[in-house]
Amino acid sequence: MQERMGNPALVLPAAMQALNALGKVPAEAGLSPKLLELVNLRASQINGCSVCIDGHPRIAKKLGETDERLFAVSAWRDTPYFSDAERAALALTEAVTRTSDRADPVTDEVWDEATRHYDGRSLAALVIAIANINVWNRLNIATRQIAGAWKP
């Protein structure tokens, strides 16, 4: 496979600035960088974004994330490696990423569980993080960016 064009965010520097600024918001709001990488990886797995599936575990490892947890992200419900707060974040990630899978993609049950673990500011940051990784996934997928070319 060959990429169709350079990543649009690189072609349009203003877009890169905006996406990078948006990407900093969740950590600045107090969310754990390790949690954010789990969210990034899970959304990217769902979307099939090879660039992000390759890159985000590298970032997570640099932050001290374990192989066990990284290998288990796709099966987070069935493994003992995640806290209840992380599970709530991963459930919300799946719901927000899979918006066309059901009429009410973010059910009250998923939302209420997230509100048990995250206050209004943290929850807003989490939703922004999920939306942002979905943007990156779609840019990479549409233009067929090559896994391994981005080495964070």
* Average pLDDT score over residue span 48-76: 97
Calculate the average pLDDT of the chain: 96
Q: Return all residues near 133 (Cβ < 8 A) that are at least 6 apart.
A: 39, 40, 43, 44, 52
pLDDT score of 1 more than 90: no
Give the model's confidence band at 66: pLDDT under 50 very low, under 70 low, under 90 confident, else very high.
very high
Most confident of 7-11, 26-30, 98-102: 26-30
pLDDT of residue 148: 84
pLDDT digits (tens, 9 = 90+) for 80-135: 999 999 999 999 999 999 999 889 999 999 999 999 999 999 999 999 999 999 99
Tokens matching residue 140? 């990479």
CA distance 128 to 23: 8
